[in-house]
Amino acid sequence: MFHKTFVPVLTHRTIRSIVVAAAALFLLAAAAGTPEGDLHALQAKLASAKTAVVDDYTHVAAETGAADQIVERLDADEAALALADPADPAGSEALRVRILLDVSLAEQVTNPAATSSSSAHGPQMRLVKSSADQTLQPLALYVPGSINLDQPAPLVIMLHSQEQTEADLISEPALRQLADASGAILAVPYARGDRSEDTTTQADVYDALAFVLSAYKIDARRIYLAGFSYGAFEAFMLAPHEPGRWSGVLSIAGSLTNGDKDAFVRSMQGKSTFLVIGSDDPIVKAQYVEGASAFLAANGIDSHFYMEKGGVHSLESLLPSLQRAWNDMLAGVHFGTPEPDAPSPLPTPSQRY
């Protein structure tokens, strides 16, 4: 695992309204059994996408600031495809979703005509203009097929882990199943990949939120900031910058830290937090997360703690506790009473997860 110094940035910044300059959409293949559903047929798509990015490298770099990273993820997709096991339908489907999202990204940054209606279901890749530096930044969306786009839906903005992209996280079957069951729209901004939280990544997250609010009907009472692994640490850092935007925070395999606790408690009074951890997580210890939840409850935050017995540092291993937390969050559940003298959360980590 690649580690970097973890430096929280807690200075308040008012995020400017989003300007959507290239809201391009590439709908994914609808079902397995189509050519797109065949993992072997994806090879040609990947090769074509990579060729287009390389041929238009200077333009892609200027537009996104991430031409190298786009080529790298297409290379990684090719390597994963070569190792794919056709006997693993769940794994194959997750890889298919990831690849088609990455191909969609490549097509959009090289072909401005690759656009479609903003009203769409399923996994999709969008481009959002950054209010920080005017570059086009990836935003992966999952819109459950069961929801009526004319009715307000809950929204969960999810932050990905380190060494993970927005396409990686949206391709996780567990998350899409949660969204399907609850009728919630799921949005994962790239937020400059593994870049430490700063004013630019803050802007990217709030730009993503503004974009979704402009493109879909969203229930303003149910807008949540969530994160997995290091993304969960970032959620506690980012929420206080615009506390009025969020109904609460969902932390999955991450935690509040001593470096963030004062700003979070001060800004998020009246909000709810939902902290999910595996009892056997080798990276983020369950007792630290439990202590953080107790600290929040003792300081006026409606906090809920969920520990999955035997769970480790993966989304699948945290079910069904994650499902309970997700459902409680969207239902607006409030329970528990503050306990005095709760311990402080874990010290600010020196490594990113």
Domain range enclosing 13: 1-25+117-353
Looking at 93, 114, 135, which one is the last position of a domain?
114
Could you tell me if 204 and 336 lie in one domain? Answer: yes
| Residue 325's CATH number | 3.40.50.1820
Looking at 114, 136, 169, which one is the last position of a domain?
114
Number of domains comprising the chain: 2
Could you tell me if 80 and 220 lie in one domain? Answer: no
First to last CA, the chain: 8
Could you tell me if 46 and 15 lie in one domain? Answer: no
Could you tell me if 35 and 159 lie in one domain? Answer: no
Q: In the prediction, which pLDDT does 145 show?
A: 94
Its sign, for the CA torsion 334, 265, 163, 200, is positive
Could you tell me if 109 and 121 lie in one domain? Answer: no
Could you tell me if 105 and 186 lie in one domain? Answer: no
Could you tell me if 199 and 327 lie in one domain? Answer: yes
Could you tell me if 64 and 148 lie in one domain? Answer: no
Could you tell me if 109 and 181 lie in one domain? Answer: no
Give the closest residue to 228 by CA, choosing from 254, 256, 208. Answer: 254
pTM of the predicted model, to two decimals? 0.84
Q: In the prediction, which pLDDT does 119 show?
A: 60
Q: In the prediction, which pLDDT does 23 show?
A: 29
Could you tell me if 139 and 32 lie in one domain? Answer: no
The rounded distance, in Å, linking the Cα atoms of 182 and 193 is 28
Could you tell me if 328 and 224 lie in one domain? Answer: yes
State the DSSP string of 142-197: EE-TTS-TTS-EEEEEEE--TT--HHHHHT-HHHHHHHHHHT-EEEEE-TTTTPPS
Q: In the prediction, which pLDDT does 345 show?
A: 63
Q: In the prediction, which pLDDT does 16 show?
A: 27
Looking at 65, 99, 114, which one is the last position of a domain?
114
Could you tell me if 185 and 304 lie in one domain? Answer: yes
The rounded distance, in Å, linking the Cα atoms of 91 and 181 is 20
Question: Measuring CA to CA, how many Å separate 20 from each of 70, 160, 222?
Answer: 20, 22, 23
Q: Tell me which residues of the chain have a pLDDT lower than 70.
A: 1-37, 115-119, 333-353
